[in-house]
Structure 1
Amino acid sequence: MGRLNHKIAVITGASTGIGAASAKVLADEGAHVLAVDVSDKVHDTVKEINAAGNKASAYIVDVSDAHAVERFAEEVKGKYKQVNVLFNNAGVDNAAGRIHEYPVDVFDKIIGVDLRGTFLMTKFMLPLMMDMGGSIINTASFSGLAADLNRSGYNAAKGGLINFTRSTAIEYGRENIRANAISPGTIETPLVDKLTGTADDVSGKAFRDNQKWVTPLGRLGTPEEVGKLVAFLASDDSSFITGESITIDGGVMAYTWPGEMLSEESWKRTTK
């Protein structure tokens, strides 16, 4: 506790899931969290943080809109003078068909929020970090390390985001600004509910059962577990780590193919 005392931490996509959980973890560590989202639900995150005796403020910003992000940066500069932590977490996803069938507007939306949004937030927040240094964390995905069927837009955005993180790390290391990506696997979030159905739906339950047996740890991850990784990367405990993509996926990316897991029923039974 207290690793981020007196720090200003900007978190995008902070209304639910990984963003909301990370906002709470960073606030518990002493940061004043500036919670950013396009959804009014971000106010609920902020209310919960403040009710716990910590500090948070809510901002409604479309991270894919350059003018909106620039106005936000100006407001932050006027009020707080600097930013110490930037967690670029805002993202959207959609399984929209094979590439020759993939709607252009869906591709543009995903690239616009996930990749362009990260670029814009980084571009306009960096000047507020350059005097004092800081830490930038970007939410990539294990889908940026390998491909998924029918999700070429998301795969492209997250893969690009990982290399954009490396660009940030090498360009700003001499200003003591570190940049790292996190690559979560399947985390129990509202986005998973939207894409697959909830844990109470037939389709959602089937998806979760499949994820459990294909994941060596035998379960989905939690947003709070990701939030703890974000707090580590935001703090001085990770002071010599930059330019990395850290996978948090329960072991999925540790093997090349499922092998006997596909046919060995005893393996599946271990997740019951």
Structure 2
Amino acid sequence: MKPHLFILCLVAPVLAGGGVARAEDDQRDGLSLSLGVAGVYRPEFKGSKDYEFKPLPFVGLRYGLGDRYVALEGPSLRANVLSGQVLEFGPVISYERGRKKDIKNLAVRRLGEIDAAVNVGAFARKRLKVGAGDLTIGVEALTDTGKVHKGVLATAGVGYDRQLNDRWNVSANLSATWADRKYMRTYYGVSGAGAAASGFSPYVASAGIENVEVGASLSYRISDRWSALALGGYRRLVDSAADSPIVARGGSANQGQVAFALLYNF
């Protein structure tokens, strides 16, 4: 089981990154477990110009039965219900962090908290052997299970993963995320009351592409049980998200993330 699959989803949630595990790993039946700790440097919230460092626990869990599997990948739990290796498809449930009340930006803080959301939906991805590595193309659609954003978002991505030797592995990915009006207004809109409290102009965010993202990771197998990982990602907010005063006046459309992790594979 490749450790960076789970950390990549934790730090920069993209569907089809280079962190997707190799087919030979997926074919292994039974339970696989990884535990560890990661240090993550990331924006405080969507569109923030202020960053935070977070030490986070790591749990990677996968149960495989032939081509089918259930896997905990960072904040997402997904299950492939198809066999035959032609396509992976199945349900997914995912955690999305919100906006806390103790952020540094006083104007955005006055807009209020946004609770964490639990999203559910479906994913599909196809893996192809290209040269010495694996090319993965995938899509994922999610909707809110509660009353946080009550919207829909969809991500499409492509990634490439290559084992350099018996210890080093490198990956890269590119993705884009679309979101509907409800989702965009939750994270980027400013109501009349919010404008009065924050000093921002009222803003009604519209449906569209929320962001485009690129990322890369490098992992090193220290031993049969221990692995180390470094990764980075850059996300650019676009369209209605970038035009929001939360981003244009109070934050930044440029969103970067880096993480380092040490993992133990059982």
Say whether the fold is shared (TM-score over 0.5).
no
TM-score by length of 2: 0.30
The structure carrying a bigger helix percent of its residues is: 1
TM-score by length of 1: 0.30
Between Structure 1 and Structure 2, which shows a larger proportion of strand residues?
2
